[in-house]
Amino acid sequence: MEQPKKITPERLKDTIVELRYNTAISFEYIPGLVHEAVKGVLSPVDIGRHQFSLDPAKSVFIGTRKGFLQNDIIRLQIEEGGLIFNSNGEYKGWSAFMGAIKTVMELIAQKDWLQGIHWVGLRYVSEFAEIQIFDKLIWDFQYQWGQASSLNTTFRTEWADEEDRIIVRLLNNGQREGDVYSLIDIDVNHNFGETKAVAAAFDTIERLHTKEKDVFFGLMRPEFLTSLNPTY
């Protein structure tokens, strides 16, 4: 069944692509090596000059956030063993998002310190305001305790799909400053079991993206999907 290309308005709250890498280099050098490789397309995240004055005689000023780089499409967090990409501000769509990630990874892949990629993951978190999401999905969540009705409820399930792993987390009837909201959080990842070239990781991420969309839209009852103004 053909899945929509998008829904309107976009409900994405968080978009993450993670690549776990192998290297023989100590992590203390990695942020600098990454920054040197991608300085033409990403800049350090400026968090302003913050003064910490627990000891007035020893004020400390911080101007940039080490290990975080960004442009107008993506933000990169550099972790020990992992490179984590997220949308920077409003999600620009998969083509722009993944295109920016590929540009960065191709620059990094040219450097000798990166031996390859052994794990990739894609995680999308969608937020629905004023919606009880359990009533909108194909799974049956009808349960109660005595005469009590369910309030803030979370659900998590995980399964293997061929060689990929899929994790679905749901929040129903979340409460925040008097507002009600729900979350659909889908994580699809793949462990290569060996080191792969960056280009091979791209192919796998594209497949995981398709699978994530299949799960996301496949969970929805047809009438709910129609209410989200899908574009095919």
Domain boundary among 73, 88, 114: 114
pLDDT in the model for residue 62: 41
CB of 214 closer than 8 Å to CB of 3: yes
Domain range for residue 78? 24-114
Q: What is the rounded distance in angstroms from the CA atom of residue 196 to the CA atom of residue 213?
A: 25
Domain boundary among 114, 147, 164: 114
Q: Does 131 reside within a domain?
A: yes
Per-residue b/e over 73-83, b at no fewer than 16 CB within 10 Å? bbbbbbeeeeb
In a shared domain, residues 135 and 99: no
In a shared domain, residues 146 and 101: no
Total count of residues recorded for the chain: 232
Q: Does 1 reside within a domain?
A: no
Please count the other Cβ atoms lying within 10 Å of the Cβ belonging to residue 232: 7
Q: Does 38 reside within a domain?
A: yes
> Number of structural domains, the chain?
2
In a shared domain, residues 105 and 135: no
Q: Does 187 reside within a domain?
A: yes
Q: Kindly give the parts of the chain with pLDDT less than 50.
A: 49-64
Please tell me the pTM assigned to this model: 0.87
Which strands make up the sheet holding 153-161, listed edge to edge? 43-52, 60-70, 74-79, 82-87, 12-22, 116-129, 179-196, 164-176, 153-161
Token output for 57: 């005689």
Tell me the CA distances in angstroms from 46 to 34, 70, 206, one per residue in order. Answer: 17, 10, 31
pLDDT in the model for residue 178: 83
Q: How large is the greatest C-alpha to C-alpha distance in the chain, in angstroms? A: 66
